[in-house]
A = this chain, B = another copy of it.
């Protein structure tokens, strides 16, 4: 492994690279479970359906290099990927909007394995405020600033109705939140300096339905 202290983490890796790295992680994790010790970018390429040269380029952002004719050491690659992707640290997050999707996110223990620790949720519904889901307490949104500061959270997950999405984003940023994970289909605007990640799972449904319809028409 190249362990020189060149400031690789200061370069902004392109988002497509960052989105492909978890695919490689999933695959090398599987290889490790099966006792495989080395893997080449060509072998990964075959399995993942991405060009071998693209894979080598993507992995170079980790500062890790494969050995000629042997490839990458599987355990080292897995660990470097997990660490580079931030999955081996714990990031404190709060959830805004504990409706159907919000409750589902709190219940998904998978997020924890990927470094996301939801420390509390916020809502306005009196039937939810004061309760807890899987030991995660739900507070009234009025307590947002105090709770977030006390708990040291820097990420807010937005799972609110569209009509309050922008307002809640503004409130969160004003309270010191530095990153918003937006699950609403609304396009949040913030001042530069706030990280926004949009995960509109419903938009993916639209792509799937459309492709299905076109297939059905082509078959006729």
What residues of chain A have their CB less than 8 Å away from a CB belonging to chain B? 9-10, 12-13, 15, 18-19, 21-23, 25-27, 29-30, 33, 47-50, 85-87, 89, 91, 99-101, 103-105, 107-111, 114-116, 154-155, 162-163, 178-179, 181, 184-187, 189, 193, 195, 197, 199-215, 217-218
Contact = CB atoms under 8 A, between A and B. Distances in A.
Nearest to A209: B86
B19 A207 contact: yes
A185 B115 contact: no
A185 B12 contact: no
A interface secondary structure, majority: helix
B27 A206 contact: no
Contact of A201 (B50, B185, B199): B199
Contact of A205 (B107, B115, B187): B115
A213 B86 contact: yes
A163 B28 CA distance: 11
A48 B12 CA distance: 25
Contacts of A86: 205-206, 209-210, 213
A207 B15 contact: yes
A50 B162 CA distance: 18
A188 to B, nearest CB: 9
A125 to B, nearest CB: 15
